[in-house]
Amino acid sequence: MLISLIGFFGGRLLPHEWIRWLGIAPIFLGLKKLFERRANVQRRRSNTLSVAAVTFTNGADNIGIYGALFAVSDAPRVIVLIGVLYSLLAVWCFIAYRIHKRQILANTLRKYGYWLVPLVLIALGFYILLT
């Protein structure tokens, strides 16, 4: 999150016409995730080290996305975005825990969930481009 705030400060220095082209990053990331092999999603075994590695790798995506979103936002909007981000993080953790306990939901998300994240990233990219 702190690294992503560089985008906010960069947004204060660079012309808005240049900043909005950062929306290409989330679109690219979404397309990349959309076409990644499903084999990566369907791994059976996991341990703490592999979960940490995936979290670290996904952090690069977050920097690209939030940096671009923060760059086209003013200070009050960034504060709201950060508050919403951390609030929804708690909600997502709770939902993930509940889904884990419901095998039918877990299997359904395992089968079709890989479409959701790329579509959200692509939509966010277009939002940034059009802002």
* Alpha carbon distance 117, 12 (integer Å): 29
Model pLDDT, residue 91: 94
The 10s digit of each residue's pLDDT in 51-94 is 566 555 556 667 777 777 888 888 899 899 899 989 998 998 89
Residue scoring higher pLDDT (12 or 118): 118
Q: What's the mean pLDDT in 13-37?
A: 76
What's the pLDDT tens digit per position in 34-57? 887 554 555 545 556 655 665 555
Name the nearest CA neighbour of 115 among 30, 40, 39: 30
Percentage of the chain beyond pLDDT 70 is 73
Q: Quote the number of domains for the chain.
A: 1
For residue 99, pLDDT over 60 is answered with yes
Q: Is 113 helix (H, G, I), strand (E, B) or coil?
A: helix
Asked if pLDDT for residue 123 goes beyond 70, the answer is yes
pLDDT of residue 124: 82
3-state secondary structure of 35: helix
Contact call for residues 99 and 106 (beta carbons, < 8 A): yes
Q: What is the residue range of 13's domain?
A: 5-130
Q: Which pLDDT score is estimated for 39?
A: 46
| Residue 122, pLDDT above cutoff 70 | yes
75 Ramachandran zone, left/alpha/beta (phi>0; psi -120 to 50)? alpha
